[in-house]
Chains A and B, each alone.
Chain A
Amino acid sequence: MSQATLRIQKISAHSGTVPGEDTQRQYQVCKLVDTTTCIGCKACEVACVEWNDMPFSPTAFGNTYQTMPETRWNYWNLILFNEHEREDGTLQWLMRKHQCMHCAEPGCLEACPADGAIVQYTNGIVDFQQANCIGCGYCITGCPFNIPKFNNVTKRMYKCSLCADRVSEGLEPACIKSCPTGCLHFGSKDDMTELAGIRAKQLRDHYGYDKAGVYDPPGVGGTGVIYVLHDATQPELYGGLPSNPSIPLAVKFWKHPLKWLGNIAMVGGLIGLFVHYLKFGPKAREEADLAPKGGA
């Protein structure tokens, strides 16, 4: 991979042409997380914090092995631990690496009103550009996975960048590099999809997981992070992974029909203003405004 893969193809709230829009995408990058071989060691959590030079923040005991209840602005990668009792009485301790899914149709980007605060590169990475972020938090509404997090001090939003800096130099993301069991893989979306399919089939054929499958939800156009699940019919068990995520209707409505309506309303308002001006001229000062105020 080279810098070419970091050409932008989508920009939030951008009215002009998008520089990489008609670029032929050579391939989309993808992380494969095989939850069936994850041992919850948290090496990926540590690698993420260290590579991104994130400051530590205090944690508290939460009756779980999970580091914290959810990701933070300075903690982008979190393994979710869930104890699940199956119908046959056997126990599962499900561990899922939770981070930005890098949706092909990113709800955050869709919802973002700040020009260039969120971009999608031609390789599929969805990246926040804090320099352009206005901290409005609309991306939170747009995200079906509860990923973007607000930093109270900088007043900006943060999330996993899929190590765009590493990927652009031909390296794998830090989390992938640190994984000791090989439950994390990185490559093209096509290759990862194939690998995930092979693993899911192995789980069905040899390990008795009849419902094993791949999570790559179509509601957001597919994702740049895909999962192999023991039971693909119940993604909710893995710390509330939505079974059919989509961009909230309000965001879609707001950014498409409503946006135009708003624009029409705004332009209409301006026209009205102009007409009003022509009709009534500038506003005259009223006597009361000129009169001296009592007291002081």
Chain B
Amino acid sequence: MTNGWVDIKNADMILVMGGNPAENHPCGFKWVIEAKRNRNAKLIVVDPRFTRTASVSDFFAQIRVGTDIAFLGGLIRYLIENQRYNKEYLVNFTNAGFIVDKEFKLPEDEGVFSGFDEKSLSYNRATWNYEGSGGKPAAAKPGQPAGLPGLPERVDFDPTLQNPRCVFQLLKAHYSRYTPEMVERVTGIPREKYLQACDLFTSIRKDGDTKKVATVIYALGWTQHSFGTQNIRTAAMIQLLMGNVGRAGGGVNALRGHSNIQGATDMAGIFDNLPGYLKVPIPADGSFEGWMKRITPTPSKPGDWASFNYWSNTPKFAVSLMKAFYGDAATKQNEWAYDYLPKVDRNYSWVNIWDNMYNGVVKGLFAFGMNGVMIGPDSNKNIDALKKADWVVVGEIYPDETSEFWRSPGITQEEMKKIQTTVYRLPCAGFAEKDGSFTNSARWLQWKNAALPIPPGCRSDQGIVAQIFLKTRELYQKEGGKFPDPILKLTWAYTNPSDPSLAEVLKEINGKTFADAEDPATKQQIKAGQQVPSFAWLKDDGTTSSGNWIYCGAYTEAGNLTMRRDPADPSGLGVHPNWAWSWPVNRRVLYNRASCNVDGKPWDATRKQVWWNEGTQKWAGVDVPDFKADSHPKDHMGPFIMNPEGVGRIFGPLGAFADGPFPTFYEPVESPVENNLLHPKQRHSPVVRRYKTPDDKYGSVKDGYTVICTTYRLTEHYHYWTKNNPMNVQLVPEPFVEISEEMAAEMGLQGGERIKVSSARGAYIAKAMVTKRIKAMTIDGKKTYQIGIPIHWGYRGIAEDEGKTAKTPVNLLSPTVVDPNAYTPEFKGFLVKVEKA
């Protein structure tokens, strides 16, 4: 989230799309209710189903699965046409006035931007750049040849936004075809209804009002598409156009699906990241210097503006990370142990790991804190992959579908005998038996204590991992091996090396200094051996360490700040500065400089977050200013300090995105609509690849797969876990499929009858829930049905073990297709057929 849970209470307008927070985040959803109760805020819900969130909304529209970009693109068109944007914000805080390369071409009818290469299904992104002068050539990236021009140092700029090659005019041209009539044909939302939604959402900017704020809340309904990243980007662009980013009650807010998903991402849960979103080295980097050169941006902006370009500090964060990994073994002479780091030479994302296991490349798997078979698309492929693996280690508290993959439906006793995979199930500790910090969606690190002792015979996750590490190190010590140093020299200075305390780990992540240091501005001093107070103290000379620069400040000399529990909120804006600790530097709203106009005055005096104090010549605020503290508004430094431009990107230049600098509507890979109505010559995202094993099958209307299927979660269950808990099973005892009354009538089906849902990959059997909450839709004049399936059941669990379900995991149905930027599978929209079972 750019903002936070509590901050939602400051919103005047709330758009929930691609998410169902009342269902999946009922506790956080209280802040939506607070906004409604205390501010008369309006809640708009756009979803394929009338959800629990929709039940308390003020406006609901049922949308066809996977057409969010058509909806949002039309909204951009509407708000430009009706001048519902914040002009001052747009000109000064975004790249709307930046001039774009002459060679850059919009997709129009062709459906591809300039630079598309049909052979490699990828873009040469050289033309996705600004006009200007200066700048460095960009280095190589995975899938991108080296030697392309970088961003220009000085960008050509038109503050009137009239230049036909400026971002704003290109944006206008790009979305001009997203008319309400088109939106109706593509999304199935009637024109009138669509215009009502557009009017309501943008009403906060009616008649030049810049005081009110709207927030956008989303979750996996946006991410789990072959254009997931672009769904979110469209929302970010709308928020930039309306001037809602950086403001209390505004922002673009991702609701994370589990208690610590944000923490997992922050700590390098993705293969191409290191902790703190540092990009991993690639073979072409060659050296630490080469790596730094590639990943450290230089400013790129109109000549008379300033840009903080905070990522210019990348080497300080990277060296400190290497010092945290390798301590004394990381020296300037050995390039901070650069050689010890693995270099990423290919895509190691989730679906690829299983693809590689299927193809015999990956031989073994550690599965901790997740149920691997169930959470990926195309369960059959995953099960087939595990059959081919040499071993799988599962850390769990229940027997699950991964540790018992050989029990999946359709595997006969004879076949079981042939499976050679060795399975180790390690008894782990449950969440209430462990302490540690959770990082929530709002970026708050909150410490929790263990409520119960770990049962005899079970171990903590870190205990298991530590013992595997110590054993591995012992083997390297004994046997040498090809390259033992990365293992032998890893720092492991825990009081109990075989079961490190998580407080010690957090302390290590925060980092410390190896030499006395002084902040020249404040004269504050820290002594060698002390915890660093914030990432501003990190250095690239090897005198500091930090396991994750953005967590720097969580565990200082003042102690473990994630344990703080002071509910006080002096400003009333939900900042709660002494409750837990929020990254970065306890800041609650990111980019909060943008809550003020160019002169440094808050857009809304009743929601003052930060402001320029002329007396002290500094930025002050109730929140930690997200800005250079002494940068006078006259310097015109951009509020988006993590971009080299200093401004928000309405146009995503160069390597920012694999599939285009502007979000473009494409059909899901499996879609009932034969043509892309908006960009007729390109049906699907041009850069999305299909996998090629015999298990990777894709269905179409021609093969009889005419019904759109989406998947989701229920309040009453937690993933694939609570099917083992009698209380949750009592609340929702059985799997089901939600279908519309119209479709049921056509099939002669009553609620409670069993149906079989089949995709090109597999079949799912459950009872039908016939409901008014999903309606048949008219898509481009054709009647289209959508169905929905909650995901929570498999072949191990209370109901499953009692033989009360068909034991079919829902991901037997979903396809192996991933977003080209984030590699998230397309769980949310694919084709099926439905029959009585």
Contacts and interface: CB of A to CB of B under 8 A. Distances in A.
Q: What range describes how many residues of B lie at the interface?
A: 35 or more
Interface stretch (A106-114, A179-187, A240-248, A255-263): A179-187
A63 B769 contact: yes
A93 interface: yes
Contact of A64 (B34, B52, B769): B769
B808 to A, nearest CB: 16
Given A83-B772, A85-B772, A39 B50 contact: no
Contacts of B726: 56
B731 A46 contact: yes
A39 B60 contact: no
Interface stretch (B24-32, B90-98, B104-112, B421-429): B24-32
A57 interface: yes
Contact of A56 (B30, B50, B727, B773): B727
B171 interface: no
Given A63-B751, A91-B60, A182-B33, A58 B733 contact: yes
Contacts of A91: 50, 60, 772-773
Interface in A57-72: 57-65, 67
Contacts of A95: 55
Interface in B480-524: none
Contacts of B53: 39
B58 A83 contact: no
B792 interface: no
A163 B109 CA distance: 66
B271 to A, nearest CB: 35
Contact of B40 (A40, A46, A60, A206): A206
Contacts of A61: 733-734, 736, 752, 767, 769
B333 interface: no
B34 A182 contact: yes
A277 interface: no
A49 interface: yes
A180 to B, nearest CB: 4
A42 B715 contact: yes
A3 interface: no
Interface in B5-50: 22-23, 26-27, 29-30, 33-34, 36-37, 40, 50
B26 A181 contact: yes
Nearest to A208: B58
B730 A37 contact: no
A202 B40 contact: yes
A45 B731 contact: yes
A180 B60 contact: no
A251 B23 CA distance: 43
Contact of B26 (A56, A60, A180): A180
A273 interface: no
B56 A37 contact: yes
B696 to A, nearest CB: 33
A27 interface: no
A92 interface: yes
Given A42-B716, A57-B730, A63-B751, A181 B771 contact: no
Nearest to A40: B52
Contact of B33 (A49, A50, A183): A183
A43 B736 CA distance: 21
A141 interface: no
Interface in A164-212: 180-183, 199, 202, 206-207
B126 to A, nearest CB: 49
B245 interface: no
A17 interface: no
B54 to A, nearest CB: 7
Interface string A5-45: 00000000000000000000000000000001111111101
Interface in B692-749: 715-716, 726-727, 730-734, 736
A60 B53 CA distance: 25
A180 B733 contact: no
Q: What range describes how many residues of A lie at the interface?
A: 35 or more
Nearest to A199: B37
A39 B727 contact: no
A39 B22 contact: yes
Contacts of B732: 65, 67
Nearest to B772: A83
Contacts of A154: none
A152 interface: no
B60 A90 contact: yes
Contacts of B22: 39, 41, 181
B751 A60 contact: no
Contacts of A56: 726-727, 730
B358 to A, nearest CB: 35
Interface in A75-104: 83, 85, 90-95
A181 B734 CA distance: 27
A181 B732 CA distance: 21
B730 A59 contact: yes
Given A56-B727, A183-B33, A207-B58, A39 B772 contact: no
Nearest to A198: B37
Nearest to A83: B772
B140 to A, nearest CB: 49
B730 A39 contact: no
Given A64-B769, A182-B33, A39 B52 contact: yes
Nearest to B34: A182
B29 A180 contact: yes
Interface string B37-79: 1001000000000101111101010000000000000000000
Contacts of B52: 39-41, 93
Contact of B727 (A49, A62, A85, A206): A49
B236 interface: no
A40 B773 CA distance: 15
A64 B714 CA distance: 13
Contacts of A50: 727
Contact of A59 (B29, B30, B60, B733): B733
Nearest to B750: A63
A57 B752 CA distance: 20
Given A42-B716, A202-B40, A62 B752 contact: yes
Contacts of B751: 63
Given A39-B53, A180-B26, A63 B770 contact: yes
B769 A39 contact: no
B752 A93 contact: no
A93 B773 contact: yes
Among A59, A65, A92, A180, find the residue whose CB has the most chain B CB atoms closer than 10 A.
A65
A177 B565 CA distance: 20
B716 to A, nearest CB: 6
A76 to B, nearest CB: 14
Nearest to B769: A63
A62 to B, nearest CB: 7
A41 B53 CA distance: 11
Nearest to A61: B734
A161 B56 CA distance: 29
A90 B771 CA distance: 14
Contact of A93 (B26, B34, B37, B54): B54
A229 B56 CA distance: 12
A116 to B, nearest CB: 33
5 tightest CB-CB pairs across the interface, nearest first? A63-B751, A39-B22, A93-B55, A41-B26, A206-B40
Given A39-B22, A199-B37, 15 more contacts: A36-B56, A37-B33, A40-B52, A41-B22, A42-B716, A46-B727, A56-B726, A60-B734, A63-B768, A63-B769, A92-B55, A93-B52, A93-B55, A180-B29, A181-B22
Interface of A: 36-43, 45-46, 49-50, 56-65, 67, 83, 85, 90-95, 180-183, 199, 202, 206-207
27 contacts: A36-B56, A37-B33, A40-B55, A41-B23, A41-B26, A41-B52, A42-B716, A49-B727, A56-B726, A57-B730, A61-B736, A61-B767, A63-B751, A63-B770, A64-B769, A67-B730, A67-B731, A83-B771, A91-B50, A91-B772, A91-B773, A93-B50, A93-B773, A180-B27, A182-B33, A182-B34, A207-B40
